[in-house]
Every structure is written in structure tokens, then in C-alpha cells.
Amino acid sequence: MHVVILAEFAAASGGAEKVALESARGLAEAGLAVSFIQAIAGPVDPLLDHPGIRRIVLGLPDIWSLGGVRAAAAGIWHADAARRLAAALDGLPMRPDCIHLHQWTRTLSPAIFPVLSGAGVPLVVTLHDYALACPNGVYYRFDQAEPCGLAPLSAACLAAPCDPRSRAHKLVRVARAAALRQVTRRRPLHVVHVCDASRQRLGDLLGGYAVTHHRVDNPVRVADRPPAEPGRGDAVAYVGRLTREKGADLVADAARAAGLPALFIGAGPLEAELRARDGVTVIGWQSPERVWEILRSRARALAAPSRWYETGPLTVYEALAAGIPVVASDRSGAAEKVRHGRTGFVVVPEVGPLAAAFTALRDDALAAALGAEAYRMSRDAPSDLAAHATALRALYAALPVPAAGAMQHRERPAVSPRS
């Protein structure tokens, strides 16, 4: 089986890139031939260093580097991205069995969807956010600091000043969403949800699309080590971008109310505000290895109190697998993996409920017991690369081949080395 994985970056700066990279590696380790198409040139994760992975670079710009009108135009419809992708697919040494898209908003744009739909092989899209339906991608009202309840591209949606940047930026994103809807409507599309909540919400938002829904857990790559000892931890930890929609400010307020230090690993708009608070330590972005060294030595629990309907923050799964309790927002898809009162707590993303959970975790025995149960449950039902690859392989094998437009390729026995 030959699978094309299409992403905009080949190094992990967020969850979508990390899943794309780990999927590629897991599939290659399972014996599949993988062509990893990287839209934007840049760093390459060592995960792609495998003889079964052929890497192709389209050499497109990150549209944020273009500025102004050029960035807006490319974000709505990047014709050069479509041309380069079509050439890359045509140049593959063997016909793929499917194409799996993970990212498209930073340069690929809606222009690639006619190319992908016309390739003559099944198209799979993992929904790491809500960009397939919602103009701002996260189905969140930044103007009101709460989840959105509007129908995407409805009159109310068009009028809402919900974009985190500006009304002008909202207009560009509306144009992009309208272009996407136009080119994907009635074209067969297989979407992968990483949590049950995403499937339910997006199922209601994607009316009119020829969508088939699938459910596959994100992979969890954790070193084979003994469980952490959260009963010895001294702080509530947060890992990720420091923003209000992800609840970073809630962690600081609730930890202070509970009498615990708050430790932030990451950066973002709230960094200066958080650094100025008593009892808060912000240490910036760290390598994955360093992140887990810090968490294993200091975390009493990991907090993930998103205000938006976050689909599946990987740090939650990784913390549980390492034996660290998690306090998760009931709006987060990852909360589905937290067993309330057994491996952590699932709470409303507000200071009071979070503070109550943090206060309970001041009990050393409880923190240790929750961590031990999280570690045990993760080992009993692992979501590692092998399990993820098995689920994807079963999905790909069951996909129907489109009736028309089959790609024509010279068949070769194996995928050649990276280009």
C-alpha cells in the first residue's frame, strides 16, 4: 500500500504537524510506502528519516511571510500551490492508494482541493480543528471569549466580529471558507475525527458536503519509562501556547486560589501578563525531551482548561501515558480520555471548578493514585504509533476508489529515497 501524506510543515510546531509526522513514521514502520509532501520548506523532523518514507518539498511560501494583499490573495486561492501539488502527484513513481491531508491553511489554500479530488484516489482529511466549516477555524468567538453557536457563513456569522486579528482578516477568512465550500461541495471526502465531540459538532456543521465520517485516535508517542511520581510534584503545569482561548490565565488564577505554583511551558500573547504574577513560572518553549523531563520532575498535574472546543491536545494523552493526572476542560476532546476522579478531573473551564480540582490534588496520596491509574489504563489500551498505524491501514483498505479520474502512473516496485 502506498499512502501520500500532505502537510504544510515537516517539523512539529503544533498538534497537526506532530500527528502528520507520527502517522508517516508509524505507517512506514508498519511496512507501507509513504510519500510525505511538505508544502513549506524548513526544518525536517527525524521521524521522517526512514527508508519507507519519500519526502517531497513543494517550496511554497508561508503566506504570513507575504504580507498584505498578497497574503490575503494566497490564503483565499493559491494557484501556484495547486500547480506544484499537481506536478508532485504526477511525478510519483507509483500510484498512491489514498491521499491523507493534515494541513492546508498556511499556504495550500482551497485551490488544492480540486487537484486532490481529481487525483482518482480516495481523499482523507484529518480534522485537527474546524477549518473545514468555520472561517476562523476554531469555532470560537474571540470577541466574546466563548465558543461560537452560529451557523458557518450564515448572515449572523458574516456579521460577527469574531476574528482574533481584525474585521479585515475575518473578511479574508470568509472568502477562503466560501471558496472551500464551493470546491468541496458534492465531491467525495473522507474526514477523520480525533475525538467523539468533534465528530458530533462537525457532523452538524458540514451539511451539504459529500462527507463520510471516520474516527481515529491521535497517536501517543511516549518513552518506555516507569511512571512519573506526581505525588512528589510541586506545581500545576501547562504546556502550549499562552492564550485566553486555551485557558492559560485560568490556570494561573486557579493555582493561586488553590495555593499551588503554576508552571507554564510555552509562549504566546499572555506571556508578559503571566510572568508578572506571583507564584507563576514561565520557561518558554522547550524540546519535547526537555518538556517531559520537567513534567516528570515538577508536575503534580497537567492542566488543559481550553475555553474553545479543542479537538485533541496531544499533551493530555501524553501526560496520562506518563502517569501524570490531568485536569481538562469539559469542552476539550481530550477530556474523553480523562476518567473523572480516577485519572484526573474534567471540569468547566472556570476558576472555581479548576481551583477545587487543584486543591484536591494537593493531597499527595490522591495525586499519586490518579497518576498510577492513568499510567495503568494507558498501558492496558495503548494509543501508540503501532495502534494508530493499524487503525489508519484498516481505514485506507476499506475506502472505495472514485469511479472516474484515476491517476496514471508508471508502476515501480518501491518508493525511492527522499528527494
Tell me the backbone φ, ψ of residue 393, rounded to 5 degrees. -60, -40
Topology match between the domains 2-219+384-398 and 230-380: yes
- Residue 28: CB partners within 8 Å, gap ≥ 6? 34, 50, 51, 52, 53
Tell me the backbone φ, ψ of residue 290, rounded to 5 degrees. -70, -35
- Residue 261: CB partners within 8 Å, gap ≥ 6? 234, 235, 236, 255, 279, 280, 281
Query: Is the Cα torsion angle 187, 192, 18, 313 positive or negative in sign?
Result: positive
Which among 9, 48, 398 has a CA at the least distance from the CA of 190? 398
Neighbours of 178 (CB within 10 A): 15
Tell me the backbone φ, ψ of residue 198, rounded to 5 degrees. -60, -45
Q: Which CATH fold would you assign to the domain 230-380? A: Rossmann fold (3.40.50)
Output the tens digit of pLDDT for each of the chain's 419 residues.
999 999 999 998 788 999 999 999 999 999 999 999 999 999 999 999 999 999 999 999 999 889 889 999 999 999 999 999 999 999 999 999 999 999 999 999 999 999 999 999 999 999 999 999 999 999 999 999 999 999 999 999 999 999 999 999 999 999 999 999 999 988 889 999 999 998 888 888 887 788 999 999 999 877 788 999 999 999 999 999 999 999 999 999 999 999 999 999 999 999 999 999 999 999 999 998 999 999 999 999 999 999 999 998 899 999 999 999 999 999 999 899 999 999 999 999 999 999 999 999 999 999 999 999 999 999 998 889 999 999 999 999 999 988 654 454 433 333 333 44
Are 204 and 138 in contact by the 8 Å Cβ rule? The answer is no
Task: For residues 280 and 274, give the distance between their C-alpha atoms in angstroms, rounded to a whole number.
Answer: 7
Are 172 and 76 in contact by the 8 Å Cβ rule? The answer is yes
Cell 513534567, residue located: 295
Global pTM value: 0.92
Looking at domain 2-219+384-398, which CATH architecture does it have? 3-Layer(aba) Sandwich (3.40)
Q: Which residues pair with 199 in a beta bridge?
A: none
Are 385 and 25 in contact by the 8 Å Cβ rule? The answer is yes
Break the chain into its structural domains and give their ranges.
2-219+384-398, 230-380
